[in-house]
Amino acid sequence: MKKLDIKDLGKFRLLGGLDVYKNKTAFTVAEISLEKDDYFSKIYLYDGRKVKPFTSGPKDSNPKFSPDGKLIAFTSKRDKESKEAELYLIPTTGGEARLLRKFKFGISDYEFSPDGKQLVVIAPVEIERRKKKDEDVHLIKEIPFWFNGIGWIYGKRSHIFLVNLESGRKRKLTKGKLNVQTLKWSSSGDKIYFIAEENKEKEPMISDLFVLDLKSRKIEKLTESKWRISDFVVLDETTFILRMSTLERGIPTNTHIYLFNAETKEIKKLTAELDRSAYNSLNCDVRGKSRNPLIYKDGWVYYIATDGPRANLFRVNLEGKIERVIGGDRSVETFGIGSYLVFIAQDATTPTELYVFRDGKERKVSDFNGWIKEYKLSKPEHFKVKASDGVEIDAWIMKPLDFKEGKKYPAILEIHGGPKTAYGYSFMHEFHVLTAKGFVVIFSNPRGSDGYGEEFADIREHYGERDYQDLMEVVDEALKRFDFIDEERIGVTGGSYGGFMTNWIVGHTKRFKAAVTQRSISNWVSFFGTTDIGYFFAPDQIGKDPWSNLDGYWEKSPLKYAPNVETPLLIIHSIEDYRCWLPEALQFYTALKYLGKEVELALFPGENHDLSRSGKPKHRVKRLELIAGWMERWLKG
């Protein structure tokens, strides 16, 4: 059988963007073209019998059915000369798609009206003049001024537009500094409910539920600016299902499902029995863009939750009874409910596919990634690590494909980002590439990870402490259990929080013989003032701000420990990474070079924080080549 190669990245098909009407399912399938260095996508339709292509592409995505099921709306970029986002309509029976409207700065979301005659669209707009047409100077008056993957966002907000399906005419319904995130129509069609941020500068973690009366054009805020609400379901004019975080533990607070009364302002946590985040936080580098649905049907609220190393589909009723609907060692990506339940899922050795759950039976109905069956893959082997404080840590090991008993192999410790994400039963192309090249791969969910409850996830003000110990104890346990690991040839790598931890590790131990840090943090002070989330993420995670806690910020900065570094380090960073901006890489590289350490720096132009997941295909290939090459140089050479 074949070994999975770096350039096999171009074979993956990424499924996502699913919507359901009765027995019909529309979804997006994206492909990665190494030849054209781009991504291309089409919409496919499953009619209850077979899957078939529905649109021609090349950039079609995010399909949604009209209320009567006769139309499908979708977003696209078919006009090669235009930078605007395009909204199309196409009959469900097929035919030519009709361009309904273009939006200059993109489309965040949209919904059909109950009568199917209008669409309500969320789109970014300029709320104040940013600069003159021929001017290249940025005059900035607010924070955040840029955002990862988008670029400059100052002076922009996402607002609601009403678009007529016949004429394509649009009417702006909201204004000012409201930043709208998601919305729903009332069943009568005379109101629009929406989630928005009122003040991203002063209250960046707060979002509220609002209602817009279409006749009077009046907007009323229904919540009290205490929570971060991400989605909702309208039960009636006063009763709502909210998916939200109360922020009691700051960012580590789990997102739960609540019942909310808009008159009394009372909330009831429906998912109190399951201390898990109501979304999928598993890491994967070959997944499609998907919605995170919240669906109310027959007295049950259906939602995805991360439960340890799994992302499963659950449902909860209004009394708080929770049931697991779609379980297993896998990652449910998205779902929809029509005549039956449809979902997209993957696992550690199977990329994304479409599945149907009907009459208690599950069936895979697509085979976009069937080519993977021709490849020999290393299946992750799970083991538990009892940490020194008694808490159990989930960990996995993947043997190299050429494994032979009695032989010693170099190993690589992989550390996930977040920190409130998780590794588990999802496909990681990177891991399979490394095992194909003869490495053992070790990965785990240390303290700070999602899926194990709020207390487990809460490492605020304690970065580099218990989380660092957990990782070292995972390596210790792996060496005890698996005698084929060469303890003299272990490397470490990670991105984002995993990059921070890689930087921290090389400044605190010499046990690793090679390291690759990616999209990392090296200095919490500079991170606070230069990144899109730094001004609220750093105070939440490190404590207070740099003026109140300079010693704490510096104490937790890997840059402080640069003189201790003895491990050869490769720094990989994207030039347009606004989540962990370029200075994080530059100052760590400069410090290590100045101190005479073994270090190299690889910078990727035009890329952002998501290089490993959605960067240009050729850059993604180069990144993997750099990681594998560095590890081969120092662990095999």
Q: Which residues of 338-353 are buried (b: 16+ CB within 10 A; e: fewer)?
A: beebbbbbbbbebbbb
Helix, strand, coil % in the chain, rounded to nearest 5: 20, 35, 45
Q: State which H helix or E strand residue 47 sits in.
A: none
Alpha-carbon dihedral sign for residues 273, 289, 246, 529? positive
Three-state SS annotation for 520-531: CCCCHHHHHHHC
Which amino acid does the sequence have at 67? P
Edge-first strand order for the sheet with 170-172 is 109-112, 118-126, 156-164, 170-172
Question: What one-character-per-residue DSSP string does 112-156 give?
Answer: E-TTSSEEEEEEEEESS--S-TT-------SS--EETTTEE-TTE
Long-range contact pairs involving 364-368 (C-beta distance under 8 Å, separation at least 24) = 365/46, 365/50, 365/51, 366/15, 366/44, 366/46, 366/51, 368/13, 368/15, 368/29
Spatial distance between the Cα atoms of 618 and 609, rounded to a whole number of angstroms:
16
In the block, residue with structure tokens 């139309």: 71
* Straight-line distance from the first to the last Cα atom of the chain, in angstroms, rounded to the nearest whole number: 27
Spatial distance between the Cα atoms of 526 and 164, rounded to a whole number of angstroms:
47
Active site residue 167: no
Spatial distance between the Cα atoms of 293 and 27, rounded to a whole number of angstroms:
14
Whether residue 367 contacts residue 351, with contact meaning beta carbons closer than 8 Å, is answered with no
Coil, strand or helix: which one is 612?
Answer: helix
Spatial distance between the Cα atoms of 495 and 353, rounded to a whole number of angstroms:
27
The four Cα atoms 105, 106, 111, 115 give a dihedral, to 10 degrees, of 60
Question: What one-character-per-residue DSSP string does 401-449 give?
Answer: TT--TT--EEEEEEE-STTT-B--SS--HHHHHHHHTT-EEEEE--TT-
Say if strands 485-495 and 409-415 run parallel, antiparallel, or are unpaired.
Answer: parallel
Alpha-carbon distances, residue 149 vs 152, 313, 574, 605, 611 (angstroms): 10, 29, 11, 13, 10
User: Which residues are registered as beta bridge partners of 331?
Assistant: 311, 346
Among 446, 453, 420, 414, which Cα is nearest to 537's?
Answer: 420
Of the candidates 41, 113, 290, 496, the residue annotated as catalytic is: 496
Of the candidates 416, 432, 573, 609, the residue annotated as catalytic is: 609
In the block, residue with structure tokens 């670029």: 151
Active site residue 609: yes
Spatial distance between the Cα atoms of 485 and 479, rounded to a whole number of angstroms:
6
Alpha-carbon distances, residue 5 vs 29, 411, 437, 491 (angstroms): 22, 18, 9, 20
Q: Which residues of 293-302 are buried (b: 16+ CB within 10 A; e: fewer)?
A: bbbbeeebbb
For the chain, give the number of residues.
Answer: 637
Residues marked active site are found at 496, 609
